[in-house]
Amino acid sequence: MGQCLRYQMHWEDLEEYQALTFLTRNEILCIHDTFLKLCPPGKYYKEATLTMDQVSSLPALRVNPFRDRICRVFSHKGVFSFEDVLGMASVFSEQACPSLKIEYAFRIYDFNENGFIDEEDLQRIILRLLNSDDMSEDLLMDLTNHVLSESDLDNDNMLSFSEFEHAMAKSPDFMNSFRIHFWGC
Amino acid sequence: MLSDDHVNEIIIDVDNVSSGVQSHPSSNQIFQEKVLLDSSINMVSSISDIDVVDSQTVSKRNDQKGNQVLQFSTSLNESMSQTLHSLECMGIDTPGSSHETVQGQKLIASLIPMTSRDRIKAIRNQPRTMEEKRNLRKIVDKEKSKQTHRILQLNCCVQCLNSISRAYRRSKNSLSEILNSISLWQKTLKIIGGKFGTSVLSYFNFLRWLLKFNIFSFIVNFSFIIIPQFTVAEKNTLQFTGLELFTGVGYFRDTVMYYGFYTNSTIQHGNSGASYNMQLAYIFTIGACLTTCFFSLLFSMAKYFRDNFINPHIYSGGITKLIFCWDFTVTHEKAVKLKQKNLSTEIRENLSELRQENAKLTFNQQLTRFSTYVMAWVVSTGVAIACCAAVYYLAEYNLEFLKTHSNPGAVLLLPFVVSCINLAVPCFYSMFRLVERYEMPRHEVYILLIRNILLKITIVGILCYYWLNNVALSGEEIIGMQLITSLGLPEFDIARNVLELIYAQTLVWIGIFFCPLLPLIQMIMLFIMFYTKNISLMMNFQPPSKAWRASQMMTFFILLLFFPSFTGVLCTLAITIWRLKPSADCGPFRGLPFFIHSIYSWIDTLSTRPGYLWVVWIYRNLIGSVHFFFILTLIVLIITYLYWQITEGRKIMIRLLHEQIINEGKDKMFLIEKLIKLQDMEKKANPSSLVLERREVEQQDALHLGERDSSLDLRFRRSVQEGNPRA
């Protein structure tokens, strides 16, 4: 695979990325290296873009059941710039604040992108999570109804952002599991 | 068209988006905003939380209502964008059209007065792209410099402070990065987390946490007890054979490992050197170790409780958590498949739990079930008591046996038996599962754990009691037991493994008074255990088959570590120090009637020196007096009671707020139904004039905005009668 022109990241850029994201210096440099290996040859890293397929096939995302949604949410116009990748790694890093994680988790789980997690979204989430073909329709409806009865506070059959946030904000399991290590170093 | 008399101004208030976090900026979405234009135009802002009145309705009806609601909201959106477009044509600068900038302006305004550190944090927390954040930062900096430009005198001071704070921040960053890089086993833990998930990772994190305790204890002991002892050490005359590594007897008896070796004198080098009282050093060092462990455990426990047990009975959210908390850290394909299988099992179990909560059993079935429970408990307690009695009699027999025979390997008999009991009886307990039928599989796990814990604690308790009554204390048995029990079972059952860790740590704490090097041994054991467990995991790839709620279990284990384990140790040590007579011919306390007399005599010597009378005063009046502790206890109880009442009040508050949310949702749905009805009525009444209106809106210049029907369905001129009083 070809490599971008070997531009070292400028010190000011590194400082800026450190200020704007939750990543440490080492993490940013590691992602920079990984990005350089994947992007097409002859381009400055700030202008190069990766396709969604390339990002989906990163070792960190390759087996994730939600990788297409992740790529969809964090990319712009179907491609990933270097800053998009940094943004994605920042949200999934350990140091990211809970509100940011909840915000992006909501966007990822909102399959039809209507601003709510409705029954259709829930069913698609469940099918992705269990990945089994022997899921009966009854079980699916039952499960969806249970989730809604637990978290839907104002009984409109959908989860708005506030309801999702309320359900997840106090859950340490969520904070610990919504993490991805993107760098190989 | 409705008449002018009835003006139904519907302004729907919406929650403020907190701290500038923007929700769902995609174009189709429905925002919650407070849009209040000039008084002449009242627009209905978008509605996001819409309520279906009856929650028991069949899904079809729900769908219909949901569709209705979404239809309405999309038509609302369309008409709103139409209105905005039309108003733009009229040259009016509506805040709604650039609601982004309204939000942005609010955000900028809130960022400017912040300190630079808070500003950086706030910008970082924004769910925006890097470009937007950069622009935001530039704008804020520009605004800020405009404001501070006027204050010229403070300019150079501000600059100094800025550069100092920047340098400080940079150094703190690099320090934390260095600490991270030398943090123990960082990379291995990441790999384990990626392959097996967070639950297995929690076991290894617990191990690392215990290791920190032991490292600290070891360092303290080493510097204050062992090094001074080395300076006056005598020559070791005994032979060294390989068996000592297992039994700890023999050669090691005359080394720093054993209490008996320590001198009771006051070490003094030269005539002018400071004197070092070994007795006091021994007691105070061990006391300091244990006190630090105590506070550290207490704070960790409090932190875990706070994070994991917030109102569990109000919002159980069991299935919701399962659905939304997929473990994103897992990067291994086999692990993902296994996790999916586990998740499927757990979901089905949870669903059946929920269904069975409603199922009622007949009286006969209940009776049989109850009697099986009782019998199982009786049998398990009986087995535990039998084991304890066996251990006690064996210990006594062992003592006499050792007196007559001097085979060093015989010392291993007691630890061997105890370890066998610890390995065999839990297997026996898990066979009860075949007989007992529990409604919830989770309860099975808990009951099994409780039985195991009871067994272990009673055995340790019996051993302590035995040791306290027989002065021939030595660390041999402790070490022997540790070594043997650590050769655990190959299957990686997290609960059993964590219990083993807690058990081992309890033994270390018990033995620390008599064998100051025990933390070092425990450190070595933990290291070995880490690598063996790691290797066995990698080779077998047998992650736990039972689903595992990592955070709740960890809280439970730390609670176990604190409550029976550590407090039991403290009690044992307290009894030792206050009631036992130290052996007369070895150890730093030889010759004293009780251990505690070393402190008494120290206080007595201090009271003769005028400069240290305050220490004596503190000792006599605070530590030694009953009134002080009584008053202290009373104050603590009062504070606890007050906090408890505050918590109760907050629970009531939460319930009331929940009801309020539901009611507001119902009100909104009611209003929307009304609006839809009116919309339909208008459509039926005036199909042509609606079209005309649209064209008018698009073409005309606005002069009398108040009369303009700015959108199709939103401006309902009816008096607010049944409207939402709370809106």
Element (H, E) at B130: helix B130-149
Which pLDDT score is estimated for A110? 93
Within an 8 Å CB–CB cutoff, is residue B144 touching chain A?
Answer: no
CA angle at A169 for the pair B317 and B657, rounded to the nearest 5°: 75
With bands split at pLDDT 50, 70 and 90, how would you rate the model's confidence at A121? very high
| pLDDT value for B18 | 38
Please indicate, yes or no, if residue B672 is contained in any of the structural domains: yes
Whether residue B243 lies inside any domain: the answer is: no
Find residues 359-378 of chain B whose CB sits inside 8 Å of chain A. none
Q: Is the pLDDT of residue A24 over 90?
A: no
Burial of B353 (0-12, 13-18, 19+ CB in 10 A): middle
Query: Same domain, yes or no, for B643 and B702?
Result: yes
Tell whether A143 is within 8 A of chain B (Cβ): yes
Chain B, window 583-602: residues with a beta carbon less than 8 angstroms from a chain A beta carbon: none
Residue B568 CB-density burial (10 A; 0-12 exposed, 13-18 middle, 19+ buried): middle
B692-724 residue pLDDT tens: 555 555 555 443 433 333 332 333 333 333 333
- Residue B328 and residue A64: Cβ atoms within 8 Å? yes
Q: What is the pLDDT of residue B19?
A: 37
Q: What is the ipTM of this complex?
A: 0.90
**Angstroms from A31 CA to nearest CA on chain B:** 15
Give the pLDDT score at B646.
95
Question: Is residue A33 a part of any domain in this protein?
Answer: yes
Q: Which residues span the domain enclosing B617? A: 596-623
Residues of A in contact with B162 (CB under 8 A): none
Same domain as B659, residue B688? yes
CA distance B708 to B86: 11
Which residue numbers in chain B have pLDDT < 50? 1-66, 84, 87-97, 247-251, 270-272, 311, 313-314, 471-476, 486-491, 701-727
pLDDT recorded at residue B12: 38
Domain region containing A42: 11-178
Nearest to A174 among B66, B325, B336 (CB): B325
Assessment of whether the complete model's pTM goes beyond 0.80: no
Query: How distant is the Cα of A7 from the closest Cα of chain B, in angstroms?
Result: 20
Q: Is A136 on the interface with B (CB under 8 A)?
A: no
Q: Are residues B693 and B648 in the same domain?
A: yes
The answer to whether residue B203 is domain-embedded is: no
Residue A1 lies in a domain: no
Q: Tell me the CB-side half-sphere exposure of residue B700, using CA atoms within 13 A.
A: 14
pLDDT at B630: 93
Instruction: Kindly list the distances between the CA atom of residue B681 and the CA atoms of A61, B56, B307, B335, in Å, as whole numbers in the listed order.
Output: 53, 29, 53, 59
Evaluate whether residue A154 is within a structural domain. Answer: yes
More confident residue, A169 or B478: A169
- For residue B417, tell me if it sits in a domain: no
Domain count of the fold of chain B: 2
Work out the percent of chain A whose per-residue pLDDT is above 70: 94
Residue A174 near chain B (CB below 8 Å) = yes
Q: What is the CATH number for A125? A: 1.10.238.10
pLDDT given at position A106:
94
User: From CA B312, how far away is CA B321, in angstroms rounded?
Assistant: 12
- Distance from the Cα of residue B671 to its chain's centroid: 43
Contact check, Cβ <8 Å, A172/B308: yes
Q: Is residue A183 part of a domain?
A: no
Tokens of B646: 């505050």
Together in a domain, B685 and B614: no
- The reply to whether B687 falls in a domain is yes
Using DSSP's 3-state secondary structure scheme, residue B526 falls into: helix
Q: Assess whether B605 and B645 both reside in one domain.
A: no
Is B400 domain-assigned? no
Residue A8, pLDDT above cutoff 50: yes
Query: What's the rounded mean pLDDT across residues A106-118?
Result: 92
Contact: A113, B29; criterion CB under 8 Å = yes
B617 and B646 housed in the same domain? no
Contact state of B662 with A154 under an 8 Å Cβ cutoff:
yes
Please return the burial class of B345, using the count of CB atoms within 10 Å of its CB with bins 0-12, 13-18 and 19+.
Answer: middle
Dihedral (CA of A141, A146, A147, A152) sign: positive
Which is more confident, B399 or A180? Answer: A180
Q: Please report the residues numbered 45 through 84 in chain A whose beta carbons come closer than 8 angstroms to any beta carbon of chain B.
A: 59-60, 62-66, 76, 83-84
DSSP states along B555-572: HHHHHHIIIIIIHHHHHH
Candidates A62, A160, A174; nearest CB to B324: A174
Decide if B613 is inside a domain. Answer: yes
DSSP secondary structure of B198-210: HHHHHHHHHHHHH
User: Do both B634 and B665 map to the same domain?
Assistant: yes
Q: How far is B636 from chain A (nearest CA, A)?
A: 28
| B613 shares its domain with B678 | no
> Cβ–Cβ of B15/A162 closer than 8 Å?
yes
pLDDT at B649: 94
Chain B residue whose CA is closest to A99:
B125
Q: Which residues of A touch B352 (CB under 8 A)?
A: none
What pLDDT is stored for residue B680 in this prediction? 93
Judgement on whether residues B602 and B642 belong to the same structural domain of the protein = no
Identify the H or E element spanning B268. strand B266-268
- The answer, for B558 touching chain A at a CB cutoff of 8 Å, is no
Domain count, chain A: 1
Residue A159 pairs in a beta bridge with A117
Q: Would you call B134 an interface residue with chain A, using a CB distance cutoff of 8 Å?
A: yes
Q: Does residue B648 sit in the same domain as residue B606?
A: no
Chain A environment of B669 (Cβ under 8 Å) = 156
Q: Is residue B524 part of a domain?
A: no
| pLDDT score, position B725 | 40
pLDDT at residue B105, rounded to an integer: 82
B683 and B702 housed in the same domain:
yes
In this complex, do A103 and B127 lie within 8 Å of one another by their Cβ atoms?
yes
